[in-house]
Structure 1
């Protein structure tokens, strides 16, 4: 009996496994645990017969004084632990690196030319699939030759003969994801554990913890490591990553196509996963995928904080929240990019008509076709799918109406008063509250409605009154986030001739300033009005009002944040991430008068990426 192999685990495999566990624990979901257990089970079951054969034929051996002693099918117990720990480490690297990925947008419809007037999105996937299958088939043929010939190519042949069939199966099922996902999901999770295990294996071979029969290996080395061992760890890590990619591919199909899968269990059965992978790519709903792509791009480009937070929401809730954000962004852009106030009001009218038709279709199915025809005739192409995919069949109508009213308020900035002067509709703090509740409180309310819809069993214990309290707190939190948004964008809004600071606040500041003592320019002293803010958004008085707006934001935040802990557990931590990620912008603006802790992009203050990740991880860690 010896301890060398056990010490390899103690020194080299357990420490990174524990470190990755601590890092990933706040991010982990029940589905992630299922993925890991699923892959470990397959790894142990599929590797045991192969490893047992290699040991019994003495292709590789373990000196008796290097192992504890207990074996199963001639395989040392430490080796079984290696199957588990390697799969676990590689799985965690993949899960951490892929957490931000929005998998539904990587589903592709197989086609070779544009259809329905839409541009070609992808390559000819069928040829890519066939090319990969051909390469792997040739590798399999080569492995058979090596095994038949015996001698120095035996070990490499056995590695390929065992690994390539699994790779061929996974490629055939998930080639689109394997090719289409970002490198952070495909290459990095393979390379990091492979390079590390090459190092560990080299040390173990040098110590004699295990040995390869010299007559069965090719004799080539890679950085002092036998080429067979290098190939083994590269291929096994590729198998783990491709297995996880296939799992995520199946989940993406299940989550994306509601008409095929009405209910998504927490732990989908292997049969359900395989059936999802066998759905022909040619049968995918192209509009559904394209709409999600557009929605994800809007979220990523317009709100870094909410994009980061979206990666922590599970399954279909993440999809619906992304679609909701896309709709809000499209509606806002229709008003903001209008060339005239008349054109903007026409967009408002069309949005109200859209809401009318959307809710009519639930009581009159014949209205479904009318709704689609109206959207296609009334809105630009890049906005149509955001409207069509909005899940109005389980969203209340009132918040959508109020949201449109809030957008209508922005039009007033482009109009003039009866006296011919510029119009600034945010005259009082009450006007500010009304506006913020309409454009942001409504969105927060709709987000919470989606949470209750997707997790009814977790929400059923709460009474109607309790849910209404949560919705009220959500509206208050929306106000808080909008106040942060206003504080951040004072200069940007001034460039658009808009001032969301209440005019009465400006008047208060004017009364409080002694012009001569402060040395303020005489032109500025004639009245601190919205026009003055537009002329000079860097005025010292503006900074004081920014801090006043932030104080209002944090007061509302403190009132509402407790309600997050009353949400269903599946959405509690992700919602905390969404709120804290945005409020962090407010925190850096408050610190030292907003002079430190943030970067300015396109005129807006943004929190550095590292700080955003730390805030998100800390919010998730609270459970």
Structure 2
């Protein structure tokens, strides 16, 4: 029986912690460990004196035959371990649920918050102050309300501090990301506590408790205690994430943003006046995230494993590419589409300078964007991190859009189809996909702590361009039906001719058996390009290798789905084959495990 408390950990807490660690391990970063260890240390040293007080004053007791013996300030070693393991379990669950969330989009201040959010924050503060007052009154009175009072006067000041610092941010977070890591561990520990109280592993003295039970042997004070402690852990993590979000989102205010910032830097960030936040930038990030959710679920999922400021810049880059593409694709006429391309070229000329001219000021560029682009698209241009990107790939991307427009040119034989042979196919893929891959890589080079020599950078750029071919071939293979509805055929005309087809045949009937044969031929070419460049990714710095591999593999999985489901894909969205969410998560987990 001397190991009864230790058995509670062996049977209930350690297995759960191990399972959560196994699930999170491929996604775990140094920053996650930093946050978890910090919270554990805070929880340990904040709880130790309080717990010691309870034991020394006879509120809590541990039968001698239930604990092994070693103590610190009267607190058994098993109880000390409980401080650690509970904080770890709740922290890991919170981190796991928040991985897909880009916290920068939830930064806010009083002016940006709704009246409802302001009322909720104020009511939360009033409630917590009231709980402190009630707790103090119960402690002063003594007797049966002592334990509950001690819980309130210990937990509520911490909760009030974190709520006051991060209340607006917390309210905006998805409910599941905050409520689940509070409720799930709380209910689990209620069950564990009910079993332990029933076995007599620990006990609350009758003179200091109300005597109310939630169910079985679970005292109401114990239920409140576990809810309060898990709330404190999650509130602390939310405050941590708010500080990191502010640090990574505003490079002008915080030029240096290490992946594991010092506690002093985080405190400085948390105490920064929210009125100084550049909310226009935050709103632009929100719009970029929404664009990704609608337009590229694969990249949105992959972006969740990129670290810090790199993730934000990648999201802004990809949003620009999608917005520019939509401006052209959604034009009603060829001349309107060409007008958008010319405006985008003018925008790049102003940003980078052209024909010997120096770049124009940001204010001038922003005025140009405001006068020449729809409101919904402006932030994508204004927030594009052009100071970190070379101009050539961006200009080449616009040339790719021009190739799309050439389908609208009506010649003597009707619609012209610009992808005449494999060379045209490769040129097109290079312009619309390899350019994006290269741009992503330059952001990686800038943000990564590990700096690569020029020769390795050159090798990686070439590999990114080759991989871009592979990804675009998969994209074309996926979108044969959608493109045909638009009067476009990206399969090389020479391939069609070998099957006694012309592009117009594909436009009329994109579901015919010969199309599937050509789709598989294109996928074969895609996977050859993928295999040529995949091993080169291993020379990427470790901190970004896994996320970049996930970004590639998430998209190549679409190609694998198309290979597995010849004919009509088993699952489609708007005519496009898609990968089930569970499979995309498995691909990410598997590749991060191997990276």
With normalisation by structure 2, the TM-score equals 0.98
> Aligned pair in 2 of structure 1 residues 331, 194: CA closer, same or farther (>3 Å)?
same
Q: Which residue of 1 aligns with 2:583?
A: 611
Separation in structure 1 between the aligned mates of residue 565 and residue 286 of structure 2, nearest angstrom? 39
Separation in structure 2 between the aligned mates of residue 346 and residue 180 of structure 1, nearest angstrom? 39
Structure 2 residue 306 is the aligned partner of structure 1 residue 334:
no
Paired residue secondary structure (1:66): coil
Paired residue secondary structure (2:572): strand
CA drift of 1:122 comes to 3.8
Q: Which residue of 1 aligns with 2:172?
A: 180
Q: Which residue of 2 aligns with 1:302?
A: 295
8 Å contact from structure 2 (residues 351, 360) kept in 1: no
Instruction: Name which of 399, 402, 413 aligns with 2:407.
Output: 413
Gaps of 5+ in 2: none
Separation in structure 2 between the aligned mates of residue 369 and residue 611 of structure 1, nearest angstrom? 45
CA drift of 1:129 comes to 2.6
Q: Which residue of 1 aligns with 2:379?
A: 385
Which digits, 9 at most, give the CA deviation of each residue in 1:50-81, with x for residues without a partner? 00000000101000110010101000011000
8 Å contact from structure 2 (residues 259, 308) kept in 1: no
Gaps of 5+ in 1: 113-120, 511-527
Q: Which residue of 2 aligns with 1:239?
A: 232
Separation in structure 1 between the aligned mates of residue 148 and residue 3 of structure 2, nearest angstrom? 28
Separation in structure 2 between the aligned mates of residue 420 and residue 551 of structure 1, nearest angstrom? 32
Please list, as runs of the form range in 1=range in 2, the aligned pairs for 1:51-200 lying within 5 A after superposition: 51-111=51-111, 122-123=114-115, 125-200=117-192
Structure 2 residue 493 is the aligned partner of structure 1 residue 493:
no
8 Å contact from structure 1 (residues 98, 184) kept in 2: no
Separation in structure 2 between the aligned mates of residue 469 and residue 284 of structure 1, nearest angstrom? 40
> Aligned pair in 2 of structure 1 residues 437, 122: CA closer, same or farther (>3 Å)?
farther
Separation in structure 2 between the aligned mates of residue 450 and residue 244 of structure 1, nearest angstrom? 28
8 Å contact from structure 2 (residues 351, 365) kept in 1: yes
Separation in structure 1 between the aligned mates of residue 425 and residue 346 of structure 2, nearest angstrom? 27
Please list, as runs of the form range in 1=range in 2, the aligned pairs for 1:250-399 lying within 5 A after superposition: 250-360=243-353, 364=358, 367-399=361-393
Structure 1 window deviating more from structure 2 (358-367 vs 198-207): it is 358-367
CA drift of 1:184 comes to 2.2
8 Å contact from structure 1 (residues 109, 283) kept in 2: no
CA drift of 1:365 comes to 6.9
Instruction: Name which of 424, 429, 435 aligns with 2:422.
Output: 429
Separation in structure 2 between the aligned mates of residue 36 and residue 68 of structure 1, nearest angstrom? 27
Structure 2 residue 503 is the aligned partner of structure 1 residue 530:
yes
Separation in structure 2 between the aligned mates of residue 440 and residue 603 of structure 1, nearest angstrom? 21
Separation in structure 2 between the aligned mates of residue 97 and residue 200 of structure 1, nearest angstrom? 23
Separation in structure 2 between the aligned mates of residue 366 and residue 373 of structure 1, nearest angstrom? 11
> Aligned pair in 2 of structure 1 residues 61, 255: CA closer, same or farther (>3 Å)?
same
Which digits, 9 at most, give the CA deviation of each residue in 1:151-186, with x for residues without a partner? 111111101110000000000000012211012210
Which digits, 9 at most, give the CA deviation of each residue in 1:380-408, with x for residues without a partner? 11111100111111200110010000011
8 Å contact from structure 1 (residues 588, 594) kept in 2: no
Separation in structure 2 between the aligned mates of residue 458 and residue 244 of structure 1, nearest angstrom? 27
CA drift of 1:123 comes to 4.0
Structure 2 residue 537 is the aligned partner of structure 1 residue 580:
no
Separation in structure 1 between the aligned mates of residue 440 and residue 178 of structure 2, nearest angstrom? 32
Instruction: Name which of 375, 394, 399 aligns with 1:400.
Output: 394
With normalisation by structure 1, the TM-score equals 0.93
8 Å contact from structure 1 (residues 111, 125) kept in 2: no
> Aligned pair in 2 of structure 1 residues 363, 285: CA closer, same or farther (>3 Å)?
farther
Separation in structure 1 between the aligned mates of residue 118 and residue 19 of structure 2, nearest angstrom? 41
Instruction: Name which of 492, 497, 517 aligns with 1:502.
Output: 492
Instruction: Name which of 212, 215, 225 aligns with 1:223.
Output: 215
CA drift of 1:281 comes to 2.3
CA drift of 1:595 comes to 5.0
CA drift of 1:368 comes to 2.4
CA drift of 1:594 comes to 5.3
8 Å contact from structure 2 (residues 351, 359) kept in 1: no
Separation in structure 2 between the aligned mates of residue 141 and residue 293 of structure 1, nearest angstrom? 40
Separation in structure 2 between the aligned mates of residue 326 and residue 503 of structure 1, nearest angstrom? 32
CA drift of 1:135 comes to 1.1
Q: Which residue of 2 aligns with 1:118?
A: none
CA drift of 1:266 comes to 2.8
Q: Which residue of 2 aligns with 1:2?
A: 2
Separation in structure 2 between the aligned mates of residue 368 and residue 585 of structure 1, nearest angstrom? 39
Separation in structure 2 between the aligned mates of residue 363 and residue 156 of structure 1, nearest angstrom? 72
8 Å contact from structure 2 (residues 352, 359) kept in 1: no
CA drift of 1:279 comes to 1.9
Instruction: Name which of 459, 467, 476 aligns with 1:477.
Output: 467
Separation in structure 2 between the aligned mates of residue 606 and residue 377 of structure 1, nearest angstrom? 38
CA drift of 1:125 comes to 4.4
Separation in structure 1 between the aligned mates of residue 290 and residue 86 of structure 2, nearest angstrom? 35
CA drift of 1:356 comes to 0.5
Separation in structure 1 between the aligned mates of residue 162 and residue 279 of structure 2, nearest angstrom? 24
Separation in structure 2 between the aligned mates of residue 334 and residue 367 of structure 1, nearest angstrom? 25
CA drift of 1:592 comes to 4.3
Separation in structure 2 between the aligned mates of residue 611 and residue 509 of structure 1, nearest angstrom? 35
RMSD between aligned residues:
1.5
Q: Which residue of 1 aligns with 2:434?
A: 441
Q: Which residue of 1 aligns with 2:202?
A: 210
CA drift of 1:429 comes to 1.0
8 Å contact from structure 1 (residues 499, 533) kept in 2: yes
Separation in structure 2 between the aligned mates of residue 550 and residue 86 of structure 1, nearest angstrom? 49
What is the number of equivalent residue pairs in this alignment?
Answer: 593
CA drift of 1:367 comes to 2.8
> Aligned pair in 2 of structure 1 residues 468, 366: CA closer, same or farther (>3 Å)?
closer
CA drift of 1:130 comes to 2.0
